[in-house]
Amino acid sequence: MYRLAGGWTPCPPLLDTLSAPSFQKELEKQIEQGAKRIVFDCSDLEYVSSAGLRSTLIIAQKAKAAEGRLVCCCLRGLVKKVFEISKFSEIVPTFDSLDEALK
Amino acid sequence: MLDWFRSSIQAKVMMVVLLATTLVLAFVLGVTGIFSRSFIVLDAESDALRVASMVGGRIANELSSIAMATRNLAYSLETGNWDRKSIDNLLIAVVQRNRDIFGSTVSFAPFEFDPTIKAYAPYFYKGRNGLVSVQLADSYDYFERDWFRKPFEEKSPVWSAPYFDEGGGETLMITYSCPFFGQGAGGEPDTVRGVITADVSLDRLTEMVSEIKLEKTGYAFLLSNKGVLMVWPQKELIMRETIFSLAEGGKDPHLKTIAFEIMNQEKGFHNAGESLNGKDSFLAFASLPTFGWRLGVVIPKDELFAQTYLLERILFIIGFAGIVLLLTSSLIVARSVTAPLKRMVSVTSKIGEGNFDVDFVEKNRLDEVGQLSRAFESMVNSLKKYMKDLTQATARKERIESELRIAADIQKSMLRTSFPAFPDRDDFDIYAMMRPAKEVGGDFFDFFLLDSEHLCISVGDVSGKGTPAALFMAVTKYLIEASVGVETPIDKTLEKVNALLFKNNDSCMFVTVFLGILNLKTGELIYANAGHNSPLIWTENKEVQLLEAVGGPILGIFDPADFRTGTTTLNPQGHLLVYTDGVTEAFNSEGREFSEEKLMEIVRLIGRQDAKSITEMVLEQIDQFRNDVEQSDDITIMVLNYTPRT
């Protein structure tokens, strides 16, 4: 899930070509409405494909453009591995727990 | 016939209306027929019985008055002195004054008139030219005659049976004989001194019967108490037959029954069939009091029912007209439904041929047909529009598909497909394939000799799949090919490629790449892994290993990005398998992925084969694993066998 300065929105357990676009649109809307700090809680995220990664990148970019930022936390399993291999953490900072991410 | 019925609403309507109205008509006719007939019969019965009783009663009354008058005469003969003259005068008066009395006699019992005269019986009757006087004692022995003997012996008056007169005329007669009493010649009191008779002509009375007319040809008959025909339509049978002999003579057993009915009952009303007069008739009869004669009335049924026939005929005509009217009107109504329906059917077939220009004339009606017409019209219009849109969409789709097919062909030709790629080299064997998930894919592979000693290999995976990825993939492949060089360090190559990809990348496309250069003389492999799956490296009978991930981040996103190179050595008879995540992330129907571990296991089991065989076997395993699940990502496999001459 990701948390805005304000509300929660659930993140699907699967972020792939099918689910990524609607997820991306939702977050873009939130940014337009003024969300600045987005925390991407990946505790439920089981799998992410390259399309999902791309959507995340786009959101990170848009957040940055709106003078906010996107961070991730609670990555596990395959997703964690993917993020490490692709060095995603350099674009989207990752944390181990929600508390740390909120700081 | 059945087909016509089933295939036409009009037929159904017609059948139903026809059936229903016919049933109703038949029922009404039947009921009215039955009821009116029974009323008529009841009426006729009471009428006929009344007539029979009435006429019969009158006859009996008239005869009774004659009987009474004769009795009075007998009483007067019992007192006073009667001589020849006075008796004659009496008789003359009786005969003359009574139009119904044909003749009369005072016949004395033996020696009662005059002790010296045995028989004395003066008789006067109406002759043709006047009264005629006859002395019965002269002509026959009257003592033995019934008309004398009966009242004499029984000491009471008696009517005779009817008979024809002996005068030669065909007059039906009946005689009343009444005894008169007195002191007998021998001195006994209360003896029958003689008998006074009145011969009554039944002409007038029978005429009464003959005059009875009911309906048109209904008539009456008269039977004596023994069944002798007294008044009968066939005059020649009168007095010559009884109703029983008629029954015997005829071949009609029903007549016998009727005869019994008539003679054994006081009155009755029966269905006589054709037995009496040849026409189906009713019979009503009543018995005459005193005489027990039977007066019967015969009424032909058809005449009786003449009026009902008329009524029935009228009803039938009305009913028939009604049926025709109902049939016609229901047909008209049915047609107002079926005609539009038929039109709609023909419209539908026109539409089937592609002709959408149709007009629904009934659409202005307010009833269900109008509703249907309007709904149909709007449907046809929607269909028209839909067809148009569909045609356009199909055309567009076909254009896109044909373009995609061309694109797929172009992409295929970008990737090397002629194998063996280096037939003149026996120190290495390389094989590769890319199978896109859609028409075009986002994976690429490349290999080429930088010089006779250096082989460059690359495998890449663009984010996503399909046309966008394919475009990016083409760019990346050619950028790498253009940038790589024997003297150029690999990390620098990737830095350059990354920088170029980063430019103008608003859509955040990225690509993972494995890039390596193999020194064919030494077996040294210098490589860099930019976010890509670690290739498999193994030698015969040794463990399959993953090549250590040294390199940098995914290309196109990070600016600037740092890259490093790694090195390893391929042993002789060593193998390298580079792949994209479409291999390890192939899903089966349970949602489990192929996985790195399985790939390594399979490679170990395959053992020593040429590059092509290894690739094909791995692909086969992947396809088996997938079963029939759709391929979710582009699959790329490259196998390199290092087989230097030692």
Instruction: Give all strands of the β-sheet with A69-73 in edge-to-edge order.
Output: A8-9, A2-3, A37-41, A69-73, A94-95
Q: How far is CA B583 from the centre of its chain?
A: 67
B258 DSSP assignment: H
Residues paired with B457 in a beta bridge: B447, B516
A61, A87, A90 member nearest B508 (Cβ): A61
Measure the CA–CA gap between B243 and B233, rounded to whole angstroms: 13
Give the β-pairing of A94-95 and A69-73.
parallel
- Partners of B554 on chain A (C-beta within 8 Å) are 86-87
The reply to whether residue A87 touches residue B510, judged by beta carbons under 8 angstroms, is no
pLDDT for position B396: 92
For an interface test with A, give the residue of B461, B463, B548 to mutate (most A CBs within 10 A). B463
What top-level class would CATH report for the domain B419-642? alpha beta
B465, B553, B633 member nearest A87 (Cβ): B553
- Partners of A51 on chain B (C-beta within 8 Å) are 463-464
What top-level class would CATH report for the domain B80-205? alpha beta
- Partners of A49 on chain B (C-beta within 8 Å) are 585, 633
- Partners of A13 on chain B (C-beta within 8 Å) are none
pLDDT for position B457: 95
The reply to whether residue A87 touches residue B508, judged by beta carbons under 8 angstroms, is no
Measure the CA–CA gap between B601 and B596, rounded to whole angstroms: 9
For an interface test with B, give the residue of A50, A61, A81 to mutate (most B CBs within 10 A). A50
Residue B333 structure tokens: 């109504």
Interface check for A43 against chain B (CB to CB < 8 A): the answer is no
For an interface test with B, give the residue of A18, A47, A85 to mutate (most B CBs within 10 A). A85
The residue of chain A with its CA nearest to that of B592 is A47
ipTM of the complex: 0.76
B508, B512, B532 member nearest A54 (Cβ): B508
B284 contacts B48 by C-beta, under 8 angstroms: yes
Q: Which residue has the tokens 């009107």?
A: B329
pLDDT for position B169: 62
B610 contacts B429 by C-beta, under 8 angstroms: yes
Measure the CA–CA gap between B525 and B505, rounded to whole angstroms: 32
**Residue B56: which of B203, B222, B210 has the closest Cα?**
B222
Query: Min CA distance, B580 vs chain A (Å)?
Result: 12
Whether residue B560 has a cis bond before it, omega within 30° of 0? yes
Query: Min CA distance, B474 vs chain A (Å)?
Result: 18
The number of distinct structural domains making up chain A is: 1
Measure the CA–CA gap between A50 and B416, rounded to whole angstroms: 25
Residue B422 structure tokens: 């280096």
Interface of B with A in 493-512 (CB under 8 A): 507-510, 512
**Residue B475: which of B465, B490, B453, B460 has the closest Cα?**
B460
Measure the CA–CA gap between B148 and B160, rounded to whole angstroms: 10
Residue B328 structure tokens: 């016609």
The reply to whether residue A57 touches residue B633, judged by beta carbons under 8 angstroms, is no
The reply to whether residue A53 touches residue B558, judged by beta carbons under 8 angstroms, is no
The reply to whether residue B508 touches residue A58, judged by beta carbons under 8 angstroms, is yes
Give the burial class of B280: count Cβ atoms within 10 A of its Cβ; 0-12 exposed, 13-18 middle, 19 or more buried.
middle
Distances (CA, A) of B549 to B395, B514, B585, B636: 48, 10, 19, 19
SS3 state at B126: strand
What DSSP assignment string belongs to A9-36?
A: EPPPSEESTTTHHHHHHHHHHHHHTT--
**Residue B40: which of B398, B300, B318 has the closest Cα?**
B300
Is A5 a residue whose pLDDT tops 50? no
B299 contacts B270 by C-beta, under 8 angstroms: no
SS3 state at A73: strand
- Partners of A58 on chain B (C-beta within 8 Å) are 507-508
Interface check for B636 against chain A (CB to CB < 8 A): the answer is no
Give the β-pairing of A69-73 and A37-41.
parallel
Query: What is the per-residue burial (b if ≥16 Cβ within 10 Å, else e) of B510-527?
Result: bbbbbbbbbebeebebbb
**Residue B256: which of B264, B266, B265, B246 has the closest Cα?**
B246
Measure the CA–CA gap between B618 and B352, rounded to whole angstroms: 52
- Partners of A54 on chain B (C-beta within 8 Å) are 463-464, 508-510
B607 vs A35: which has the higher pLDDT: B607
Query: Min CA distance, A9 vs chain B (Å)?
Result: 24
Interface check for A63 against chain B (CB to CB < 8 A): the answer is no
Query: What is the per-residue burial (b if ≥16 Cβ within 10 Å, else e) of A26-62?
Result: ebeebbeeebebbbbbbeebebbbbbbbbbbbbbbeb
Sign of CA dihedral B64, B67, B71, B76: positive
- Partners of B508 on chain A (C-beta within 8 Å) are 54, 57-58, 61
- Note every long-range contact of B67-70, with CB atoms under 8 Å and residues 24 or more positions apart, other chains counting: B67/B157, B67/B159, B67/B176, B67/B178, B67/B198, B69/B98, B69/B198, B70/B157, B70/B176, B70/B178, B70/B196, B70/B197, B70/B198
Domain boundaries defined on chain B:
80-205, 419-642
The reply to whether residue B549 touches residue A58, judged by beta carbons under 8 angstroms, is no
Query: Min CA distance, B518 vs chain A (Å)?
Result: 24
Query: Min CA distance, B548 vs chain A (Å)?
Result: 12
Q: Where do the DSSP E strands lie in B452-586?
A: 454-462, 511-519, 524-530, 536-539, 545-546, 551-552, 566-569, 574-579
The reply to whether residue A49 touches residue B633, judged by beta carbons under 8 angstroms, is yes
Sequence-distant (≥ 6) Cβ neighbours of residue B150 within 8 angstroms:
B158, B177
CATH for A65 = 3.30.750.24
The residue of chain B with its CA nearest to that of A85 is B531
A58, A85, A90 member nearest B558 (Cβ): A90
The reply to whether residue B531 touches residue A87, judged by beta carbons under 8 angstroms, is yes
Report CA dihedral (B121, B126, B127, B133) to the nearest 10 degrees: 30
Interface check for A90 against chain B (CB to CB < 8 A): the answer is yes
The reply to whether residue A53 touches residue B463, judged by beta carbons under 8 angstroms, is yes
For an interface test with A, give the residue of B498, B532, B557 to mutate (most A CBs within 10 A). B557
Please, where are the H alpha helices in B368-488? 368-414, 467-483
Measure the CA–CA gap between B78 and B270, rounded to whole angstroms: 49
**Residue A88: which of A72, A77, A64, A100 has the closest Cα?**
A72
The reply to whether residue B463 touches residue A54, judged by beta carbons under 8 angstroms, is yes
The reply to whether residue A54 touches residue B509, judged by beta carbons under 8 angstroms, is yes
Residue B332 structure tokens: 């008209």
The reply to whether residue A54 touches residue B464, judged by beta carbons under 8 angstroms, is yes
Interface A:B, Cβ pairs < 8 A: 42
SS3 state at B588: coil
Sequence-distant (≥ 6) Cβ neighbours of residue B284 within 8 angstroms:
B44, B45, B48, B49, B51, B52, B267, B268, B269, B270, B296, B297, B299
Query: Min CA distance, B339 vs chain A (Å)?
Result: 53
- Give the pLDDT confidence of B522-563 residue by residue, as tens digits: 999 999 999 898 999 998 878 899 998 888 888 988 877 889
Domain that holds residue A43: 2-102
The residue of chain B with its CA nearest to that of A53 is B463
For an interface test with A, give the residue of B506, B508, B513, B533 to mutate (most A CBs within 10 A). B508
Sign of CA dihedral B371, B372, B378, B381: negative
Task: Work out the angle at residue B30's Cα, subtended by the Cα atoms of residues B25 and B34, and round it to the nearest 5 degrees.
Answer: 150
The residue of chain B with its CA nearest to that of A20 is B464
Interface check for B582 against chain A (CB to CB < 8 A): the answer is no
Is A4 a residue whose pLDDT tops 50? no
Neighbours of B632 (CB within 10 A): 17
Measure the CA–CA gap between B611 and B43, rounded to whole angstroms: 123
Residues of chain B below pLDDT 50: none
Q: How far is CA B75 from the centre of its chain?
A: 90
